[in-house]
Amino acid sequence: MNEPVPYTPSPYAPSPLLQGVVESARPYGGDVQLAAERGPVVYVAGAYGGFVAVRREDLPTLPAPLPLAPVAQGPDPLAQRMLAAGLGGGALSAGVGFGLGQLLNALAGVGSGVALLAVLLAAARIIPPARGGGDVHVTQHITSRWWGRSTGTVR
């Protein structure tokens, strides 16, 4: 029962539906080539994400490097002008903005100073001075009589 059974092909013909599948299983490239016959192979990334075997002698070679062109001294004059225009415009707008900010800050300080002065002047008129506002004279008259009777007045 455990003896291997030799392979015997099926006596049935393949279905007409599978006829195209069986024919498509044949290699498209024709005869099979052995590795010794075709030379060394390099696998290169294909267009659909897989790898494709390419003979090493069929790979494109790198082009020879071109001789270096002489480099002009200094940056491009047009680039210099464009950079200067951009930096100059930015510096101008920053300077104008900074100057206007300083001017408005100074005006706000002057306005708050004037408001403080007005409050102080109003307070000086309403509240009488505590010192140096004049001399105070007090006059007291005491009259003493017999038997301990005394009267006094303050002016």
The better pLDDT of the pair 119, 137 is held by 119
Q: What pLDDT was estimated at residue 115? A: 92
DSSP 48-86: TSSEEEEEGGGSPPPPPPPPPPPPPSSS-HHHHHHHHHH
Reported as a single tens digit per residue, the pLDDT across 67-105 is 888 877 777 888 888 888 888 788 888 888 888 888 888
Q: Is the pTM for the entire model greater than 0.85? A: no
pLDDT at 27 over 60: no
- pLDDT at residue number 130: 66
Q: CB count, 10 Å around CB of 18?
A: 9
